[in-house]
Amino acid sequence: MISEITKSKKHLRKIEKEGINLFFSYGKYHIAALISSMDLPILLKKLDDFSKEFEQKFEKELKNFKGYINPFKPTNDLVKKYFAQKYSVFME
């Protein structure tokens, strides 16, 4: 949507507003987003790594996505892997 509004073919990577950062990472079948009060370049790198592994792990489910989210429950483990224990509280 934002690409259409800005008439840009380049993917939006970050939005910053009033101390909140919204980071984006793009796969073939998904877009991952991370909201953070910290503006650290490592967060975008971690989101990219998470996104890549997420798509590799769930490529079949993403390609044929029909709205069922149960197959994605193991994503909690990926969140913990890439964003450390203090961030996993949001997944419980």
pLDDT in tens, 48-73: 999 999 999 999 999 999 999 999 99
Q: How confident is the model at residue 8 (pLDDT cuts 50, 70, 90)?
A: low
Say whether pLDDT at 26 is over 80.
yes
Contact 58, 69 (CB under 8 A): no
pTM, entire model: 0.80
In sign, the C-alpha dihedral spanning 39, 87, 62, 54 is: positive
Contact 37, 20 (CB under 8 A): yes
Contact 78, 55 (CB under 8 A): no
Report the percentage of the chain scoring pLDDT > 90: 70
Average pLDDT value over all residues in the chain: 86
